Chains A and B, each alone.
Chain A
């Protein structure tokens, strides 16, 4: 019996360990590769780099525009995330707390938008921005990102507002606080963890976004990381700058690893909830 237990424990662990290796090994390989010279990369994928020099990182950062696109990505991610809250919090409050005609319909409209494929909208979006001279504009891209995540933000924040006790608002209203004050000074601080959950997931999505940036940005100096990495990848097929490409990949992944290490729980919770409704 005991031997059977041990055997089954081991046999269950084999696939778990295997999959862990399949996930982790490529990432380690990528980090190690970013320190290797081309000759080393071609010699063998299994060896450690001979020296840990930062040449590849420097070359990726300055020669291949990863530096400027890193900054651009930080810009659109930050602005997009903030705009999402600006648009999302008041609407969430109105839907969840101020009963008005059609609040249910409005909420469901936003929810439905989470499920409908956005691909069809991209062609008109391109011409819409072109019409207003907003192509190749990081402010406009941030706005487009923010709007694309308004439904998700509303979905998460309303679910947190449900749990804010009504008495707090009533007491504040009796004290003569305006509805604006109640919203921003009482309710908003109470849904802090909802705001964090929504913001982290929005930020990760904006940081990782590629396709809209590909369509809506045009000049190399405006590229975000996804587009720049794609370009670097295409170049590497011809000039074999594999080391720089590995380094670029590492630069793009490191912030995500840091965010994940800090906010792992929020991310897991927010994403599973999003999937259940979506």
Chain B
């Protein structure tokens, strides 16, 4: 094949440059510019950006909302990880190990909420929790548990925990599929020999299944943590706007509020940096905690 060097480079540039250019403009530049903005006091409209060094970060440490927002983020992450992993593992084992005829039905149904919009999920669940027309209170009334009915999302105590169920509802299917993929790759004869050795189903689960699908478990946990730290604020924004009185405020919703409602763009950018740093630290720590020797039998 005869091709001049020049033509080859031209083709390479054709393939790579346009894409890289838009990627730099719309993804890379905004990240660095965000970091840069976090050192300024800027209302967005005025031509003057005042350089204030680390003042935004000092304010971050003094702001009483910030530690609460971080705690709320972690509360959601933790409850999501526990809820999703327990249910997804149970469902994954049930749908792969036990012969259930209608398994494909469950697989499809459980997965569906994963592709629904968070806005739709948020609004739908706002309805479900609605004290007057929602099905949760109506259901409690039917069961004779009137005293348990409450204005879920309007309650200071219950607003934050109420956000957990929709997130689990929305997320479970993907992780169930991931774990099912892992379980189906576990060689059948391992269970047979475990059975011969007298291991009951519970022991088989802990001694065979869990160690062998550890990579999938680890991936799932880390993925839940990343998506939750970077995305749970959308649900918050739709369902509660951080209220009542900040009890559901998370870092992302606070950033939106400070930047796009209070026009403190420099401070908002500093919150953005905080989100980035907190998620990176969390993921690195998790990689370390979840590290296990690779198991092969």
Write the residues of chain A forming the contact surface with B, with a CB cutoff of 8 angstroms. 8-9, 12-13, 15-16, 19-20, 22-27, 29-30, 33, 41-42, 44-46, 87-88, 90-91, 93-94, 98, 100, 106, 110, 113, 115-128, 143-144, 146-148, 150, 173-174, 179-180, 183, 204, 207-211, 215, 225-226, 229-230, 233, 242, 245-246, 249, 252-253, 256-257, 259-260, 264, 267-268, 271-272, 275-276, 278
Instruction: Report the stretch among B62-70, B105-113, B187-195, B204-212 that lies at the interface.
Output: B105-113
A121 to B272, CA, bound (A): 8
A23 and B109: CB pair below 8 A?
A: yes
23 contacts between A and B (CB under 8 A): A16-B91, A19-B91, A20-B110, A116-B276, A117-B229, A117-B275, A120-B34, A122-B30, A123-B37, A127-B265, A144-B26, A179-B3, A208-B120, A225-B119, A226-B119, A233-B126, A242-B133, A249-B124, A257-B112, A260-B115, A268-B111, A272-B181, A275-B220
Restricting to B77-122, which residues have a CB under 8 Å from any CB of A? 87, 90-91, 94-95, 98, 100, 105-106, 108-120
A-B contact count (CB 8 A): 238
Chain A positions within 8 Å of B234 at CB level:
210-211
Q: Contacts A94-B15, A148-B26 given; indicate if A16 touches B133 (C-beta within 8 A).
A: no
Q: Chain B: interface residue count, which band?
A: 35 or more
A119 and B26: CB pair below 8 A?
A: no
A91 and B15: CB pair below 8 A?
A: yes
A119 and B275: CB pair below 8 A?
A: yes
| In the complex, B289 has a CB within 8 A of chain A | no
Chain B positions within 8 Å of A44 at CB level:
138
B1 and A41: CB pair below 8 A?
A: no
Considering only CB atoms, which chain B residue lies closest to A173 in the complex? B1
Give the top 3 A-B pairs by smallest Cβ distance, nearest first: A121-B30, A120-B272, A208-B117
Considering only CB atoms, which chain B residue lies closest to A242 in the complex? B133
- Partner of B260 from the list A46, A210, A215 (CB cut-off 8 Å) is A215
Instruction: Report the stretch among B17-25, B53-61, B143-151, B156-164 that lies at the interface.
Output: B17-25
B177 and A272: CB pair below 8 A?
A: yes
Q: Contacts A123-B268, A233-B238 given; indicate if A23 touches B113 (C-beta within 8 A).
A: yes
Q: Contacts A91-B16, A272-B174 given; indicate if A256 touches B255 (C-beta within 8 A).
A: no
A249 to B34, CA, bound (A): 35
B133 and A174: CB pair below 8 A?
A: no
Where chain B touches its partner, the secondary structure class is helix
Q: Contacts A93-B15, A271-B114 given; indicate if A245 touches B123 (C-beta within 8 A).
A: yes
Q: Contacts A23-B112, A94-B16, A120-B275 given; indicate if A229 touches B123 (C-beta within 8 A).
A: yes
A17 to B43, CA, bound (A): 53
Write the residues of chain B forming the contact surface with A, with a CB cutoff of 8 angstroms. 1, 3, 7-8, 11-12, 14-16, 18-20, 22-23, 25-31, 33-35, 37, 44, 87, 90-91, 94-95, 98, 100, 105-106, 108-120, 123-128, 132-135, 138, 169, 172, 174-175, 177-178, 181, 219-220, 223, 226, 229-230, 233-234, 237-238, 252, 255-256, 259-260, 265, 268-269, 272-273, 275-276, 279
Chain B positions within 8 Å of A19 at CB level:
87, 91, 106, 110, 172
A278 to B219, CA, bound (A): 9
A123 and B265: CB pair below 8 A?
A: yes
Chain A positions within 8 Å of B111 at CB level:
264, 268
A117 and B279: CB pair below 8 A?
A: yes
B14 and A90: CB pair below 8 A?
A: yes
A174 to chain B minimum Cβ distance, whole angstroms, is 6
